[in-house]
Structure 1
Amino acid sequence: MMLKDMHVLSGAGVVLSALEKKPYPNKSPKCTDCAPLFMKITAYSKTTAVLVRNHGIYIGGDSRISAKTQVKDDLEQGVVGSVAIPPDDAGEEKVIDSLVTNVEAMIRADRKITALKQLQGHIWRTGFESNELQGAVFEDVPEALEKWHANGIKVYIYSSGSREAQRLIFGNTSYGDLRKYLCGFFNTNVGNKRESRSYFEISQSVGVDKPSQVLFLTDVYQEAVAAKAAGLEVIISVRPGNVPLPENHGFKTIRSFAEI
């Protein structure tokens, strides 16, 4: 993808470079056509967003520095497929190619990082707005959310996905908009889901006197361990496709929210 195929915006939203309009019968790409995604960072060192034609998308963080920092972290952690970003004088195409390679490596490694989840949120927004995507929830979830809401129980979502992605999923399900039953959304900005400190911070944010007043539902054993260490009550939801739990894990399990 060339610079003429992008809108490059400054942090204030000023268009630094506009895409080149293409005559009929050229059509705008679908959401499913937007991979790989490219980011132009060499010409504009203060660029904070790149909009690919009809897609609101940026890659690797909110600045050139954070993009390079993320790649450096990936290289240090040995993420398979990650490559160093060439210096500015290496040329536009080499920088773009390295960014694409790093984003693809992050996706393959299922990296639970905020920058990648923000990218996910931008892609999902386009998909949901065009009705190409629909949020999927288990059939017992809508009824449980409605019941808890009616009983005055506050429900929050904590996900490695961006808050925008979470709102899109729950706002566009086959059961309708479920956001009316939810009080808020947390993502990895509060901390990694496998670190106990994250759950303590959440308990401090939702208005309870002590962490034990929060019930955390998860399908991941390591998250359950972290939440319990922070003092939360924990139940593991066993769903199709889950990673098997360790023997004698010590947590209460359910197979439907109707059991709560």
Structure 2
Amino acid sequence: MVLYTVPPSVSAILLDIEGTTTPITFVKDVLFPFIKDNVKDYLRDHWEEEQCQEDVRQLRKQAQTDSHLEGHVPIPCLSENQADTDRVIQGVVHNVHWQMSMDRKTTALKQLQGHMWRSAYVTGQVKGEVYGDVVPAIQKWREAGLKVYIYSSGSIEAQKLLFQYSIEGDLLKLFDGNFDTTIGHKIESESYQNIARSIKCSAENILFLTDVTKEAKAANEAGVHVAVVVRPGNAALTDEEKSSYHLITSFKEIALSIRR
């Protein structure tokens, strides 16, 4: 087995989620279809709740901002009668489906998705998937005194839900903190410097594991150590990318340095 040896300077391991700890198919084939298939029922069931109404207000505001985009879907305003409520709900459903078909990541869409996923996790309709090599590896790293953090484009709430309600049980205790794009975008080197400052260490004290080479490049430019994770279903790497980074196919291939 080919091993990647963690540099002695590393005191924190930063993990991507999709394609690294969790199959990309979980997001594509489980989480996103859940939203598309259940958004109408969710809105009907939670319509009287303030949280749901706030989600709709934010989506309507986003729809107004998107009015210049081709194919945009407006959300009508609400009056008092039930027929109008059904019309508004249908407008929200069409808007959500449109945004998701465009792979948009607006704050309004993420907010509604996060609330729907939270309900699905809590009720057991969805369980977070993690690769079998992930939990044993993180336990070993923590026993060795390393800190472990998550950095994903998904919201911190969505990250925590995935690991709290996982097929392996509640895994939140394995992590020392979470970061999302509020700290900066993952393909910008400054984001990794921001994370280093946040956890009170230098960039060279961090090892970042990701399946996305653009993220790996940004982390490298910030001075962070990087290994690229090659999992089934992940994007294929070019020969240049393969030669530019340390590659692993499992967390089992990561060896810790002997610390003196």
Mark yes or no: TM-score above 0.5: yes
**1:245 maps to 2:237:** yes
The offset of 1:60, in angstroms, is 5.7
1:66-116 per-residue CA deviation (whole Å, 9 max, x = no partner) reads: 54564466566x5x6433556889x87766554433321222233334433
In 2, Cα distance between equivalents of 1:73 and 1:223: 29
> How far apart, CA to CA, are the structure 2 residues paired with 1:32 and 1:103?
8
The yes-or-no answer on 1:154 pairing with 2:147 is yes
Deviates more, 1:185-194 or 1:129-138: 185-194
Q: Choose which of 30, 38, 48 in structure 2 pairs with 1:34.
A: 38
1:208-247 counterparts in 2 under 5 A?
A: 208=201, 210-247=202-239
8 A contact 1:38–1:100 mirrored in 2: no
Q: Is the 8 A contact 1:113 1:188 kept in 2?
A: no
The 3-state SS of whatever aligns with 1:35 is helix
Structure 2 CA distance, aligned partners of 1:168 and 1:56? 18
Structure 1 residues not aligned, in runs of 5+:
1-29, 41-49
Report if the CA contact (8 A) 1:75-1:82 is conserved. yes
Give 2:72's aligned residue: 82
Q: Please say if residues 67 and 74 of structure 2, whose CA atoms lie closer than 8 Å, have aligned partners that are also in contact.
A: yes
> Which residue matches 1:177?
170
Deviation (angstroms), 1:51? 3.7
Aligned runs of 1:133-148 on 2, under 5 Å?
Answer: 133-148=126-141
- Contact map agreement 1:85 1:98 (CA 8 A) in 2: yes
Query: Alpha carbons of 1:133 and 1:55: their partners in 2 closer, same or farther (altered >3 Å)?
Result: farther
Identify which of structures 1 and 2 has the higher relative contact order when contacts are C-alpha pairs closer than 8 Å and 6+ apart. Answer: 2
Q: Partner letter of residue 34 of structure 1?
A: N
2:259 is aligned with 1:255: no
Q: Percent sequence identity over matched residues?
A: 41
Shift of 1:217: 0.7
Structure 2 residues without counterparts, runs of 5 or longer: 1-33, 255-260
Q: CA deviation digits over 1:26-64, x for unaligned, max 9?
A: xxxx99963237879xxxxxxxxx944799646768xx4
Structure whose residues are more often helix by fraction: 2
Structure 2 length-normalised TM? 0.69
Q: Cα distance 1:248–1:242, how it changes in 2: closer, same or farther (>3 A)?
A: same
Find the residue that maps to 2:150 and give its secondary structure: strand
Q: Which moved more, 1:108-117 or 1:223-232?
A: 108-117
Could you tell me which residue of structure 1 aligns to residue 12 of structure 2? Answer: none
Counterpart secondary structure, 2:219: helix
Aligned to 1:187: 180
Q: Distance in 2 between matches of 1:75 and 1:69?
A: 10
Contact persistence 1:38–1:99 (CA under 8 A): no
- Alignment map for 1:94-133 (pairs within 5 Å): 96-133=89-126
Alignment TM-score, normalising by the size of structure 1: 0.69
| 1:204 equivalent in structure 2 | 197
Count of aligned pairs between the two proteins: 215
User: What value does the CA root-mean-square deviation take over the aligned residues?
Assistant: 3.4
Residue 60 of structure 1 contacts residue 70 of structure 1 at CA under 8 Å; is this kept in 2? no
